[in-house]
Structure 1
Amino acid sequence: MGKPDAEGHGPTDGLPGLPPEWGRVVVPDDASALAAEAAQIRRELRKATGLPRSRALGLPLLVLLVAVLTTLTGLVAVTWPRASRSDRPTPAPYSPPATLAGRALPALDLVDAGQAPVPLRGLLPAMIILLDGCPCPDRVADALTAAPAGVSVVTVSGGRTAPAPPTNRPQARALADPAGGLRSFLGQPARPGVATALLVDRAGTVTLVLPDLGPVDTYRGELTALGA
């Protein structure tokens, strides 16, 4: 048996050397006296070990949640643009109607300033200039100057009213196309700021299409050939 300490407490012999900062350590003779302290220590241990466990369970749940959200975001990114693209019409790129060269001009009746019908094929050979996108008076004046004798220069406007002829020359005619038959024959819509022209020989065959009427030098040779 160990010896009691100086104040008569239980034995302390046989214990290893303890740090002095712990103070005096009392070892009771009856271990049941430590039951309360043991219960408190167990409670503290349960609290200490329970927090890491909850964190350990929360980490996989967080990873799973992030994975689900990432997957859903990817699905939305893949499917949503396709739906929006399918709902939005894509404008067709403009392509010059060059394939009309060699085709016959349809038998169209346009109207003059007095609303009298004028057969378009009765004015051939002709340079026909569509002014529904641009009046382009300078381009029309250049065409009238370059046109040889016997070749008509026909300006065609949209709507039902034909403007006055651009000049008093007999070969100049100003007509309107209320039904849009000539523009439909071209197969291309009117473009703002652009005049379109056709060169048609006396047999009614389209020899040249000018989607954007430019300087006279771009079509002078074909225009001169219409009068031959």
Structure 2
Amino acid sequence: MGMPEPHGPWSTDGLPDLPPEWGRVVVPDDASALAQEAAQVRRELREAHRDARRRSWRGTLTLPVLILVVAVLATLAGLVTVTWPRAGSSTPSAPATAREPLPDPVGRPLPALDLVDEAQVPVPLRSLLPAVVLLVDACACPQRVTEAVRAAPPGVQVVTVVGGRTVPTSAAGSAPGVRRLADPADGLRALMHADPVPGTVDVLLVNRTGTVVRVVPAVGSVEDYRTDLTRLTG
């Protein structure tokens, strides 16, 4: 039984150990009257405990999961970078080796150039000096060859040269006294800095000491270099 108080039979008003903000507290005689309230309190406590465990579990997993996600994304990015087809990344052909241009040959010694004759026998060009060398790979031009033979001083060799390894047979006997050769390495073209121009002949004049006297590209007639022929035997 509860003890009666001034404000009611079960009132605890005036107790000094209870916070005043609790207000009036009534204690029933039968504790079963509090069963519903107790069940509600227990439910609230269980829910609060579950919420606390969820928050703790989320906090425990957040950092490892974040690290794992970052690692997976980094791995995928690396695979994409390696395997993704790049524009223009098909196997490139090896760049052609550019021929380094030779210096202006005029006034310099003739390089050691080995040509070949009709039988594919190597012929050092230096062994034919002094010489008038006509590059006829862009034009057979028999008239230019005949002019050179007629104008060349005694002892000066007239040489016709084509690119590749094959000396054309069609020119056989067309100009007596002419040495016909081929230049497999195109060394003369590189030396003269003269690309072949269809219908023209290029001329290289070399004296007896092996010095290049003159280079005459796209010759129009023998008159383009006649005055230089006398310098070949001096």
Per the normalisation by structure 1, the TM-score is 0.53
In 2, Cα distance between the equivalents of 1:208 and 1:200?
7
Return the offset for 1:167: 2.5
- Written as runs of structure 1 = structure 2, the 5 A alignment for 1:102-113 is 102-113=107-118
* Structure 1 residue matching 2:133: 3-state secondary structure: strand
In 2, Cα distance between the equivalents of 1:137 and 1:99?
28
Counterpart position of 1:215: 221
Gaps of at least 5 residues in structure 1 are 1-96
Letter in 1 for 2:143: D
Q: 1:211 to 1:98 in 2, by over 3 A?
A: farther
In 1, Cα distance between the equivalents of 2:129 and 2:186?
20
Counterpart position of 2:175: 167
Gaps of at least 5 residues in structure 2 are 1-101
Aligned to 1:114, which of 113, 119, 124?
A: 119
In 1, Cα distance between the equivalents of 2:133 and 2:103?
15
**1:150 equivalenced with 2:165 (yes/no):** no
In 2, Cα distance between the equivalents of 1:114 and 1:165?
16
Return the offset for 1:174: 0.3
Counterpart position of 2:231: 225
Counterpart position of 1:205: 211
Q: Which has the larger radius of gyration?
A: 2
**Aligned-CA RMSD value:** 1.9
* Structure 2 residue matching 1:129: 3-state secondary structure: strand
Counterpart position of 1:177: 183
CA contact (8 A) 1:165 1:174 kept: no
Return the offset for 1:98: 10
Instruction: Give CA-to-partner distance per residue, 1:70-121, whole Å, 9 cap, x none.
Output: xxxxxxxxxxxxxxxxxxxxxxxxxxx9943112211011000111000000
Instruction: Give CA-to-partner distance per residue, 1:194-219, whole Å, 9 cap, x none.
Output: 21000000111111110111222221
CA contact (8 A) 2:216 2:224 kept: no
In 1, Cα distance between the equivalents of 2:201 and 2:140?
7
In 2, Cα distance between the equivalents of 1:117 and 1:168?
21
In 1, Cα distance between the equivalents of 2:185 and 2:224?
30
Percent of aligned pairs sharing the same letter: 54
Return the offset for 1:165: 5.5
CA contact (8 A) 1:98 1:209 kept: no
Counterpart position of 1:100: 105
CA contact (8 A) 2:164 2:184 kept: yes
In 2, Cα distance between the equivalents of 1:159 and 1:192?
17
Q: 1:216 to 1:181 in 2, by over 3 A?
A: same
Letter in 1 for 2:175: T
In 1, Cα distance between the equivalents of 2:203 and 2:184?
18
Point out 4+ residue stretches in structure 1 off by more than 2 angstroms.
97-100, 163-169
Instruction: Give CA-to-partner distance per residue, 1:3-62, whole Å, 9 cap, x none.
Output: xxxxxxxxxxxxxxxxxxxxxxxxxxxxxxxxxxxxxxxxxxxxxxxxxxxxxxxxxxxx
Equivalent residue pairs, number: 130
